[in-house]
Amino acid sequence: MTASKRFRVFATCDIGQEALDLLRRRGYEVEVYPHPEPPPKSLIIEKVRSGIDGLITTLRDPIDREVLEAGRGTLKVVAQCAVGFDNIDRAAANELKIPFTNTPDVLNEATAEFALFILGCVSRKLWPSEKLVRENRWGAWHPYLPFLGDEVTGKTVSVIGTGRIGKAFIKKCVGLDMNILCYDPIVQDHEFVAKVQREMDLRYELGFTDERRTIRYVSFEEALSQGDYVSLHVPLLRPGESETPTYHLINEDALRKMKPTAYLINTSRGPVVDERALYWALKNGVIAGAALDVFEIEPLPPDSPLRDPELEDRLRLFHHFASGGRITRLSPDPNRGMAGRTVQALIDVLEGNYGGDPARMPFVVNKEAFQ
């Protein structure tokens, strides 16, 4: 099908030619910012003010009131190629009746498996081991020198946030015969937990594991104090945005409640963790280690205390890469890829799918503005 109107779209980065070509084949005029770094805000404003119909963005773009006001009466949709939308001024979008969309679900598995991989990476000390080899410091074999890692199988993992990604992470942990403690400040899915428990029971009955494992919801304090691993899967909610804000959910007080042998894993949002408190905790042996894919400021500033070489053996740092699988990022199929879902969300709004009602469109975030 081809759009009857020639819509104009500006993309702040190349989200993949296959997906963007879907728009071009429908007659859309698509302009893509050609550089890998984000465009200056002034250029985004200029493009919006020129009368574009759709704006494709990522988390790195500041889509604030000034940007949205520049599109008053002309900008019809902001299509975000990400699940998060911390960079978009929701109040301004609602006031101006501009729907904005995101890409939920398609990155659940990629993010969950990445969380599990970096958990194993920091726990089993994979990087220090590889570094020994690369630096030609691999000496004679010894039972425990120069260091040992911590096994994951059979340990207890505390999953903070049991939404889509948290649940995908839980399912992967079952295969490692882990006991699972769940905490969610907003919604508790007891039906899902019961199903996972049945799977754990079946694994025990079939002899796949020598001990019966359990999963249950607990308080935040118990999740922190009993977990060998604490893995974060919550959205970023700042004070005033929710009755249960998650900004700096992991602060000095929370870190003090964790075991000194525990590891913190964050693939959710950077500001969920107070980085200065985490630095203090790692520096003083309050917890054993951490693996982070997201940060309070991205890219991680050169002067961040997390870059301290003394933490290298117990802190793994990644470049917001959890969803960085080829299919997850680039597939033009809206059921498999972020690029495809971004494009489909934009088409839904511009071509008036779902009766032209943004409140009925599956990928529109700010439905409340249209109800």
Whether residue 255 is found in the same domain as residue 165: yes
pLDDT for 142-195, tens place per residue?
Answer: 999 999 999 999 999 999 999 999 999 999 999 999 999 999 989 999 999 999
Catalytic-role residue among 31, 130, 298, 312:
298
Are 66 and 89 in contact by the 8 Å Cβ rule? The answer is no
pLDDT for 323-350, tens place per residue?
Answer: 999 999 999 999 999 999 999 999 999 9
Whether residue 139 is found in the same domain as residue 185: yes
The reply to whether 320 belongs to the active site is yes
Asked whether residue 53 is domain-assigned, the answer is yes
Mean pLDDT across the chain: 97
Q: Phi and psi for 56 in degrees, rounded to 5?
A: -100, 125
Average pLDDT over residues 49-62: 97
Using the 3D structure, point to which of 299, 317, 335 is the last residue of a domain: 317
Residue 212's alpha-carbon distances to 169, 181, 201, in angstroms, are 20, 15, 6
pLDDT for 3-15, tens place per residue?
Answer: 557 999 999 999 9
Catalytic-role residue among 316, 320, 329, 341:
320
Let me know if 210 is exposed, middle or buried by CB neighbors in 10 A (0-12, 13-18, 19+).
Answer: exposed
The edge-to-edge listing of strands for the beta sheet with 179-183 is 215-217, 179-183, 156-160, 229-232, 263-266, 289-292, 315-317
Are 255 and 277 in contact by the 8 Å Cβ rule? The answer is yes
Let me know if 84 is exposed, middle or buried by CB neighbors in 10 A (0-12, 13-18, 19+).
Answer: middle
Whether residue 236 is found in the same domain as residue 348: no
Range of the domain at 201: 108-317
Tell me, what CATH number does 340's domain have?
3.40.50.720
Tell me what pLDDT residue 241 has: 84
The reply to whether 213 belongs to the active site is no
Whether residue 263 is found in the same domain as residue 147: yes
Whether residue 153 is found in the same domain as residue 96: no
Whether residue 281 is found in the same domain as residue 139: yes
pLDDT for 220-255, tens place per residue?
Answer: 999 999 999 999 999 999 999 889 999 999 999 999
The reply to whether 269 belongs to the active site is yes
Give the N- to C-terminal CA distance of the chain in Å, as an integer: 29
Tell me what pLDDT residue 4 has: 55
Asked whether residue 202 is domain-assigned, the answer is yes
Tell me what pLDDT residue 5 has: 74
Angstrom distance (rounded) from CA 50 to CA 65:
17
Angstrom distance (rounded) from CA 66 to CA 89:
10
Using the 3D structure, point to which of 272, 293, 317 is the last residue of a domain: 317
Whether the pLDDT of residue 356 is over 60: the answer is yes
Q: Phi and psi for 8 in degrees, rounded to 5?
A: -105, 130
Asked whether residue 3 is domain-assigned, the answer is no
Whether residue 296 is found in the same domain as residue 349: no
Using the 3D structure, point to which of 317, 334, 350 is the last residue of a domain: 317
Whether residue 97 is found in the same domain as residue 140: no
Residue 193's alpha-carbon distances to 96, 182, 207, in angstroms, are 41, 9, 21
Whether the pLDDT of residue 196 is over 70: the answer is yes
Asked whether residue 159 is domain-assigned, the answer is yes
Asked whether residue 2 is domain-assigned, the answer is no
Whether residue 150 is found in the same domain as residue 163: yes
Please give the tally of structural domains in the chain. 2
pLDDT for 264-296, tens place per residue?
Answer: 999 999 999 999 999 999 999 999 999 999 999
Whether residue 100 is found in the same domain as residue 115: no
Catalytic-role residue among 269, 314, 316, 341:
269
Whether residue 234 is found in the same domain as residue 361: no
Angstrom distance (rounded) from CA 233 to CA 108:
11
The predicted model scores a pTM of 0.92
Whether the pLDDT of residue 1 is over 50: the answer is no
Whether residue 291 is found in the same domain as residue 341: no
Angstrom distance (rounded) from CA 213 to CA 137:
40
Asked whether residue 60 is domain-assigned, the answer is yes
